Amino acid sequence: MESNNFAQATEGLWFDVWKRFQRNPIALAGFYVVCCLGLMALFADFLANDKPYYTQYKTKSYFPILRNYLVEMKLGQWPAELLNVEFRKLEGATSFFPPIPYRPSNINLLEPLESPSAKHWFGTDKLGRDVMSGMIHGARISLSIGFVAVGIAVAIGVVLGAIAGYFGSWIDLIVSRLFEVMLSIPTFFLLITIAALLPPSIFLTMAIIGLTSWVGIARFTRNEFLKIRNLDYVTSAIALGASDRKVMFRHILPNALAPVIVSVVLGIAGAILVESSLSFLGIGVPAELVTWGSILHEASSTTFAWWLAVFPGFAIFITVLAYYLVGEGLREVLDPRLRGLR
């Protein structure tokens, strides 16, 4: 009974949060940017692709982009006349291309290092790859690394923090020691070491960023748990015989989430920054992949190609800024102390 009312009260809280969040125009703007970026990442294949949406060839119509998905999932195949064909050069076909008719991996040795033009809005890199396409697909990589890395960090951090805050005494002591050690480790140096020594892969990058950034979340969780644990409703739940796990995860955790949510949003921004730093240094990113950081890497050794520096960097900047604004907005909304001053 009590838990039902409790759940309702929680729902009401989030709705309230959203309403208050909307009152902050800058944070709201950030939120819209975040959504746009997410959409861009999700629909990258429809925004920048060397295959058309629709093509009419030899009196038959096809939807190449969708067909490509099917083929990749082994649920379909290419008809013989469209096998490995370059749609732009296909004779006798009428096609409708996405706004940017290139994939980031399309090498074109005849157009290397071109400055922005009508053909390539953001220019090309030294292999003739379109920069704008690289940026759109790069969003996908950056955001997925951000989300997964933070996901890992949350999983570890929340659990450890909850355990420390709930059980207290010697468990808390040990876990707090662990926090100290983790905080003292030179994180970036450690990341460089691992990323440079092991074969590059996206999953590795996600994992190591996640494994080195959980401490903040853990500390917040622990502090919240310490505070909430002594509140009446919790002590009564325990008195009523609820198991430790139930108390921790059904009673305390939902209320302890506020600072964690803020950390998550800020953490995504942080993870994106770290990842771009790593790929800027040339480590952690597989060779074929074009990421925002890897384009910047090329920019630093081809200094006259300013478009390689300006655009991807700006993309990182906007993404990070948007997430920061949302995070800060959430913090102001969720932090009881600041409510009065605002």
Partner 1 sequence: MIPTFIGITLVGFLIMRLAPGDPAELRAAGGLGAAAGGGISVEKRGSVDEAVAQWRAQYGLDKPLHVQYAVWLKNLFTLNFGESFKDNQSVWEKILERLPVTVKLNLWSILVVYLVAIPLGIYSATHPNSFGDQVTTLAAFVLFAVPLVWAATMAIVFICGGDFYYLFPPGGLESLEFADDWPVWKKINDHAWHLFLPVVLLSYDGFAGMSRYMRSSMLEVLGQDYVQVARAKGLPEGMVIAKHVLRNSLIPQVTILASILPGLIGGSVIIETIFSIPGLGQLGFESVLARDYPTVLALFTVSAVLTLFGILVSDILLAVVDPRIAFGRRQQ
Partner 2 sequence: MLARRWRFLFAILMLSVTGCGDKSEVKVADAPSTASAKEAGKPVTGDWLVIHSLSDPEQLNPLTSNDASSNEVLGFVLESLLTRDPRTLELKPLIAEARPEIAQDKLTYTFRIRQDARFQDGRPLTGEDVLFSVKAIKCPFVNAPFLRVYFNSLVDARLVDPYTIRFVTKEPYFLNESVLGGITVLPRHYYDPENLLQRVAVRDLIQDPAKLPGEVKKFGDQFNKNYSRNPMGSGPYKFSLWKTGRELELVRNPDYWGNGKAGIDQAHLDRLKFRVVNNFDAALVRLKSGSLDYMEALQPVQVVRGTDSERFKREFQKYEYYAPTYTYIGWNNDHPIFRDKRIRQAMTYLTNRQQIVKSVLFGLGEVVNGHIYLFRPEYDKTLPSYPFDPAKALALLNEAGWRDTDGDGVLDKVIDGKKTPLRFEIKINSGNAVRKSVALVLLDELKKHGIDASVRELDWTIFLNDVKNHQFDAVVLGWQMSTTESDAYQVWHSSQAANKGSNAISYKNARVDEILELYRGEFDAQKRIQLYKEFQRILSDEQPYTFLYLPKRVSAVQRRFEGVEVFPDGLRPVDWWVPSARQKYVTTVTAN
Q: Which residues bind partner 2 (CB under 8 A)?
A: 71, 74, 77-80, 83-84, 86, 105-107, 109-110, 112-113, 126-128, 196-197, 199-200, 282-283, 286-288, 301-304
User: In this chain, which stretch among 47-55, 135-143, 147-155, 308-316 interacts with partner 1, using CB under 8 A?
Assistant: 308-316
8 A C-beta contact, residue 217 and residue 263: yes
> Which one-letter amino acid corresponds to residue 178?
L
Q: How far apart are CA 302 and CA 171, in angstroms?
A: 54
8 A C-beta contact, residue 164 and residue 176: yes
> Which one-letter amino acid corresponds to residue 80?
A
Nearer to partner 1, 126 or 250 (CB): 126
Q: How far apart are CA 28 and CA 36, in angstroms?
A: 12
User: In this chain, which stretch among 61-69, 94-102, 145-153, 304-312 interacts with partner 1, using CB under 8 A?
Assistant: 304-312
* Of the residues 33, 113, 192, 211, which one makes contact with partner 1 according to CB under 8 A: 192
Q: Is residue 186 within the footprint of partner 1 (CB under 8 A)? A: yes
Q: How far apart are CA 40 and CA 136, in angstroms?
A: 7
Q: Is residue 201 within the footprint of partner 1 (CB under 8 A)? A: no
Which H/E stretch holds residue 55?
Answer: strand 54-57
Compute CA distances 26 → 11, 29, 119, 262, 323, whole Å.
Answer: 25, 5, 35, 16, 11
User: In this chain, which stretch among 54-62, 83-91, 133-141, 191-199 interacts with partner 1, using CB under 8 A?
Assistant: 191-199
CB of 190 vs partner 2, minimal distance in Å? 17
Q: Pick out residues in 55-84 that bind partner 1 (CB under 8 A).
A: none
How would DSSP label each residue in 110-147? Answer: TSTTPPS-SSSTT-B-TT--BHHHHHHHHHHHHHHHHH
3-state secondary structure of 216: helix
Nearer to partner 2, 194 or 316 (CB): 194
Q: Is residue 303 within the footprint of partner 1 (CB under 8 A)? A: yes
Phi-psi region for residue 188, left (φ > 0), alpha (ψ -120 to 50) or beta? alpha
Q: Is residue 296 within the footprint of partner 1 (CB under 8 A)? A: yes
Residue with tokens 């003739």: 128
Q: Pick out residues in 139-178 that bind partner 1 (CB under 8 A).
A: 176-177
Site string for partner 1, 253-292 (x = CB under 8 A): ----------------x---x--xx--xx-----------
Q: Is residue 93 within the footprint of partner 1 (CB under 8 A)? A: no
The binding site for partner 1 (CB under 8 A) comprises 26, 176-177, 180-181, 183-194, 196-198, 269, 273, 276-277, 280-281, 293, 296, 299-300, 303-304, 306, 309-310, 312-314, 316-317, 320-321, 324-325, 328, 341
